[in-house]
Chain A
């Protein structure tokens, strides 16, 4: 036990301040009410769906929970089932073989079912594009609220995109 405590104390708390939402990443007008946003802003549950990524986007999603980004401290956590989720975080182009699974996960997610497409692949189909085996971008398969480009997007960019889904348009107006 003591070596563990020593190690924890030696390293202290390394968590860095969270970035602001990047509202420019939102591809639709905010469809949630202010009241709902106030609720979700403090307790958002995400279900990650890998629709056909190269797995590097996943590495960065994993990093969100490392002590530097500490996403859980913002009240944002990952769930094991879409039924418990407010948001789907979808990576990759949607592989043809994953199309049905992605649609099912979307259907199983309760309203407001925010969808965030991650990475160049999720946003546009990326290097894999559309083909006999790829449906291309996530929006070709399910409605998307926010697109976070990058190959892969960094953890900070991911946070800015996730927060953008929860930011009100009023705030955006103020920023402009």
Chain B
């Protein structure tokens, strides 16, 4: 019953063209957001990049795959997904089996830099020009070992952390401050190299990839059902968003649509995840300007929130509650009532705390104009998600490409223009308020019915899932092999795009403001490190 109708499949056969390019795209059936794919050559890819760039569109993700085990005449492939007005558009550039290279896309989309380097490290296809430093590989496996090549054995090599070629800033009185990989607080590991003059930051260069633990390789050979647990652990603070995006991909492969009630419950969980993370961040932002009061108040609210998650859904962060085909939990009247009451309580406390933050001169002084990313710079760098919206970048999948039930919830996008710490805090306040509104709407309007249907995998098929997590949009691309098991699964975290913005945001700020600026972005290390 849940299988999509034949007519919608027929429709999807008509080829599509975008951005006045001649490339003919196939509309992929059974995707929650309209999704299109095409195979292209280098010239077509570059022309499409130019057109997308000129049209103010953006790269969603870029990844590579080994196609040799599919058909002997095939080599590797580069996949580039774009956010167009019509939906998600994925271009695939086939690469030769011997010495594969692909064009450097950084000139149009600077955010492609680290993704290209990851492709280089993972499958051994190199960008033809530009930055050739490895990114995920830290010299802990040989330079000619490419973990995502199907013929590479999964073996450990001698550990010998590298000497990374940081860009040097020279000049009188300039000195370097290295920080990490292990940081001073309870934070994920990463390395920051500051070039400072007195107290002022002249330059920051990030070296990430420390948490790389081989997730993409781990996916290979898993069944569609098994993979969701792993997807939900790419970045634990966004487990709901990842599990949903993964499930969308799996459902596209199995050509099923989950029951409507399941989709509404997913949105409930996703908005609860957004609120939990925003509450924590607002607390830590207060703490970073010596307002321990803020930390304690927001951490208390956060704890209340996750305790109700545990009570109603059996897990404080709602891990493993979204699965291909639907959800593993349901909500009864008593549960709905508890959430409703909690929303009312949080809304009123939030009003009080917002006033306190707004009127705290010390806090405002530290927040305002600190760590600025102007709208122009944000556009240039391709900043997305929460940080993008704080710099007037109108990206929010829930509004731009609303999948069910967001098409009926019609959320309002939170937009600020100043791009400073204050703006990023303000976006969080606004979004909590909006999510509280959405949650109550869900509770009032959620349809009755089943919460899960069966998903059967199909051989040699691809599916893409795309969900607006609390940081930004998460893309999960899954491909099955001849046995119906996962052949390749790529999970893309929005932090890929936003980390470089932090390098710019700290320029000309003082070193002691770095923790505050960093926290205002609160980007994921685990997510992009994979």
Contacts and interface: CB of A to CB of B under 8 A. Distances in A.
B217 A131 contact: yes
Contacts of B189: 50-51, 98, 101
A57 interface: yes
Nearest to A78: B186
B123 to A, nearest CB: 14
Interface centre among B184, B233, B235, B356 (most CB of A within 10 A): B233
A112 to B, nearest CB: 20
A56 B236 contact: yes
Contact of A3 (B159, B209, B355): B355
A164 to B, nearest CB: 20
Contact of A132 (B155, B161, B356): B155
B138 A97 contact: yes
Contacts of A65: 299
Contact of A7 (B230, B353, B526): B353
A146 B253 CA distance: 43
Nearest to A53: B526
B303 to A, nearest CB: 5
Interface stretch (B139-147, B381-389, B395-403, B453-461): B139-147
Nearest to B349: A7
Interface in B275-310: 280, 293, 296-297, 299-300, 302-303, 306, 310
Interface residue SS majority, chain B: loop
Given A100-B159, A132-B147, A132-B157, A7 B297 contact: yes
Interface string B122-166: 000000000000000010110001010000101111010100000
6 contacts: A3-B355, A50-B189, A56-B237, A58-B187, A68-B303, A97-B140
A59 interface: yes
A133 B147 contact: yes
B57 interface: no
A97 B182 CA distance: 12
B352 A132 contact: no
Contacts of B209: 97
Contacts of A14: 300
A130 interface: yes
A62 B280 contact: yes
Given A54-B233, A95-B210, A97-B209, A128 B303 contact: no
B317 interface: yes
Nearest to B217: A131
A98 B230 contact: no
B140 A55 contact: no
A2 B293 CA distance: 13
Given A4-B293, A80-B184, 10 more contacts: A52-B211, A54-B239, A55-B188, A78-B186, A95-B529, A97-B212, A101-B210, A132-B217, A133-B141, A154-B310
Contacts of A101: 161, 181-182, 189, 210
Nearest to A130: B156
Interface in A61-116: 61-63, 65-68, 78, 80-81, 92-93, 95-101, 105
A6 to B, nearest CB: 8
User: On chain B, which size bracket covers the interface?
Assistant: 35 or more
Interface of B: 138, 140-141, 145, 147, 152, 154-157, 159, 161, 181-182, 184-189, 209-215, 217-218, 229-230, 233-237, 239, 280, 293, 296-297, 299-300, 302-303, 306, 310, 316-317, 319, 352-353, 355-356, 359, 524-526, 529
A95 B213 contact: yes
B236 A133 contact: no
A93 B212 CA distance: 10
A-B pairs, top 4 by smallest CB distance, nearest first, are A56-B236, A133-B214, A80-B184, A66-B299
Contacts of A35: none
Nearest to B138: A97
A48 B296 contact: no
A151 B299 contact: no
A100 B161 contact: yes
A128 B230 CA distance: 8
A54 B310 CA distance: 19
Contacts of A62: 186, 280, 299
Contacts of B317: 56, 59, 152
Interface centre among B154, B212, B352 (most CB of A within 10 A): B212
Contact of B236 (A57, A81, A97): A57
B154 A131 contact: yes
Contacts of B229: 127
B362 to A, nearest CB: 12
A59 B293 contact: no
Given A3-B352, A7-B352, A48 B186 contact: yes
